[in-house]
Amino acid sequence: MADSARFLEQMFSLTGRRVLVTGASRGIGQALALGLARAGADLVLTAREAGALDATARAIADLGRRAECVACDQSDVHRIEAALSDIDPVDILINNAGYEEVRASEHVDEVLWDRIVDTNLKGAFFVARTVAQPMLARGRGAIINLASLTSFVGVPTAVPYGASKSGVLGMTRALAAEWAGRGVRVNAIAPGYFRTQLTETFYADADWAEGMRAKIPQGRFGRMEDLLGAALYLASDASAYVTGQCLVVDGGYLASI
């Protein structure tokens, strides 16, 4: 192996690592699971129904990696702890599972607020806390939380979601500060505008899509592969001295507003 290839292998390889990806049945979670498998990782995948993970697990197996599927409702703390406490320890957590529903603020009721915040913020914290216990005992691990542009800016009709994702950013920084001395790094990725099943409502409006695209300096919406480099960097030894940070992947949107 040439020196340059060996160097990249040492810096970015996830061979021998176990990665837990929540919300891995579709969208960003599925894309990140497949990308990290290509980097050599074996995967533990969660979704509300384990059967929803079959397609992701098959694709990972086709890459020659192992995939374990676990049913986990991230809005329920007891189910989180029951589902994740007994799995073999993982080296990396991609804390991705989330929920959103577009609704004008005057029509947001307590049920919707609780569903969004319990899933995106409370659930994310208890997933991280549960998975981190073996990491802290071993003195090593990496956690990557999925934040959002709404962690930084206000988006109309997305108040509960924005509140939850602002909380995810604060949680990331606080956990990073608390666990850094015990060998566990905690960072976040904030995707810009990526078309997924969760965000399809926005993109179905052609006028909205055209106007939003015009605000992105790179002139396009994100593609799933645009997130893989950020995730691989934060998951690998290449970012060994990086913690408490949020890497925004948005084609320059936040830099330009």
Answer whether residue 7 is part of any domain: no
Answer whether residue 207 is part of any domain: yes
| Catalytic positions | 161
Residue range 201-250, pLDDT digits in tens: 788 889 989 999 999 999 999 999 999 999 999 999 999 999 999 999 99
What is the DSSP code (8-state) at residue 121?
I
> pLDDT value at position 10?
83
CB 33 within 8 A of CB 43: yes
State the CATH number of the domain containing residue 223: 3.40.50.720
Answer whether residue 129 is part of any domain: yes
Answer whether residue 26 is part of any domain: yes
Residue range 107-142, pLDDT digits in tens: 999 999 999 999 999 999 999 999 999 999 999 999
Cα 235 from Cα 229, distance rounded (Å) = 10
Residue range 177-195, pLDDT digits in tens: 999 999 999 999 999 999 8
| 30 C-beta neighbours (distance < 10 Å), count | 23
Cα 229 from Cα 104, distance rounded (Å) = 35
Answer whether residue 1 is part of any domain: no
The domain of 119 spans: 12-256
Alpha helices in 22-105 (DSSP H): 27-38, 54-62, 77-84
Total count of domains within the chain: 1
Answer whether residue 32 is part of any domain: yes
CA distances from 158 to 81, 154, 165, 208 (A): 29, 8, 10, 15
The answer to whether residue 34 scores a pLDDT higher than 60 is yes
